[in-house]
Structure 1
Amino acid sequence: MKEDFVVHGVVLSEHSQREFDKRLSILTMEQGKMTVWASGAKRPSSPLMAGSRSFVFGTFSLKKGKSGYNLQSVKVDAYFEEIALDLEMACYAAYFLELADFVSQENLPAEEMVNLLYLSLKALLHKDLPNELVRAVYELRVLLLEGEYSELPPRSQRKAVHDAWEHVLGSPLQKLYTFTLEEGSLRDFCENVELLTQESFYKEFRSIKILNSLK
């Protein structure tokens, strides 16, 4: 595979390499998680600069080299720059990327995960949706994708929580963030999702530590 080829996805993380280069982790619909080298991306004049940042969704043109994949160009579909303007929101968004990075694999197509990330970041920007609800919905849907979910909330008898649980597990992605919960049910729903998430994913996420320190 020496010719250029195209993938669609999102930049999960970026790391500096040498003075002007970057190493990217990109979650792609076609090939799952990929490590990609962006040569010269830190130069102000580089055409790769804008498209080689976390939260960027787009079409990535790559070339297979001797030591991995090299980024040739990016057609950006969304930047989500507004998220960086709010520290708490930025922590939630960073956690979404961290969790996606944790569960995703190489060579395993990830179209639904990419779309879930996109819709979840958009939901964070929705003023009528509490960040805690967006996080819980995202986590529960990731649990579903990973086969780690339970059909019912593990510790809740509230009808509203059971209805929300059923909605998240059964709705198409486009309908995922179309409900809200009153305060007591919201807290209950989030606690049940958190319990299941901690049981399934044995990892301490850096963004969650920062988020908790803000509260």
Structure 2
Amino acid sequence: MKETFDQDNRLTVNGIVIKHRPVGEYDFTVTIITMERGKISAFARGARKPGGKLSGNVEPFCYGTFTLYEGKSSYNIIETDIINYFEPFRRNLEDTCYGTYLLELADYYATENSDETELLKLLYLSLTALTKDAFDKRLVRCIFELRALVIDGQYPGFPENRGYSDAVKLAMQHINGSDLKSLFTFRLSDQALKELIDITRMYREHFVDRQLKSLEILSTVERELI
């Protein structure tokens, strides 16, 4: 029997799917970071059925518009209009490791019923940069992690008196203060990038108070890149 939904309880949000998990035989529970409602969870009924209306449209990395039915205790996804599927993250293992890590870190910072516009934009731009061969993926990762701290209000600034180079100081000033669209407009030497990675690791260990499941795999990938 076809489900019907009250028009008055419909809600349209813009966001990125950051994770999903199977429920029952045919459904998913989907987590989305949205501009309008922050981080939300919603049922995607029938999304695991081949050829279903939502099949393929509620996978991690899907970015677009989601029409929801807002029930008393949960959301149900009714329709989707996906603008970007970020296909490279489904085909390349290295890209997948980096992309999955950014999704997990965004999940850590995002909260329900909050304005996550800046975090969503940062995530979208960072995922886009990861798909470009011109960008060092390690630098993209560092930029995302440090700017996420800025958005979260925890960014401690440049660690003075630790012997880091002026190039890294300028890079961190850029990451902290530039417009989001201008974030990915610089390069670093190998030595400066190693310094920035070290600072980012230090800040992550201090400010992120839980184990990130995707980090171990990503760390292995990055060691192979060095």
**Distance in 1 between residues matched to 2:59 and 2:159, nearest whole Å:** 37
Q: Deviations over 1:15-43 (max 9, x none)?
A: 00000000000110011000100000111
Offset at residue 156 of structure 1 (A): 4.1
Tell me, yes or no, if the aligned pair for 1:153 and 1:161 is still in contact at 8 Å: no
Q: Residue 159 and residue 67 in structure 1: after superposition, are their counterparts in 2 closer, same or farther (change >3 A)? A: same
**Distance in 1 between residues matched to 2:126 and 2:110, nearest whole Å:** 17
The answer to whether structure 1 residue 142 and structure 2 residue 148 are counterparts is yes
Q: Which runs of 4+ in 1 moved over 2 A?
A: 153-157, 212-215
Superposed, which structure 2 residues align to 1:76-155 within 5 Å? 76-153=82-159, 155=162
Q: Tell me, what secondary structure is at the counterpart of 2:199?
A: helix
Letter in 2 for 1:181: L
Q: Please give the TM-score of this superposition, normalised by the length of structure 1.
A: 0.96
- Cα RMSD for the two superposed structures: 1.4
The answer to whether structure 1 residue 3 and structure 2 residue 9 are counterparts is yes
Offset at residue 67 of structure 1 (A): 3.7
Offset at residue 197 of structure 1 (A): 1.5
Per the alignment, residue 16 of structure 1 pairs with 22
Gaps of at least 5 residues in structure 2 are: 1-5
**Distance in 2 between residues matched to 1:110 and 1:94, nearest whole Å:** 19
Tell me, yes or no, if the aligned pair for 2:88 and 2:95 is still in contact at 8 Å: no
User: Percent of counterpart pairs with the same letter?
Assistant: 35
**Distance in 2 between residues matched to 1:62 and 1:195, nearest whole Å:** 40
Tell me, yes or no, if the aligned pair for 1:59 and 1:76 is still in contact at 8 Å: yes
Letter in 2 for 1:46: G
Offset at residue 95 of structure 1 (A): 0.7
Tell me, yes or no, if the aligned pair for 2:54 and 2:79 is still in contact at 8 Å: yes
Per the alignment, residue 170 of structure 2 pairs with 163
Superposed, which structure 2 residues align to 1:51-62 within 5 Å? 51-62=57-68
Offset at residue 150 of structure 1 (A): 1.6
**Distance in 1 between residues matched to 2:99 and 2:38, nearest whole Å:** 20
Per the alignment, residue 211 of structure 1 pairs with 218
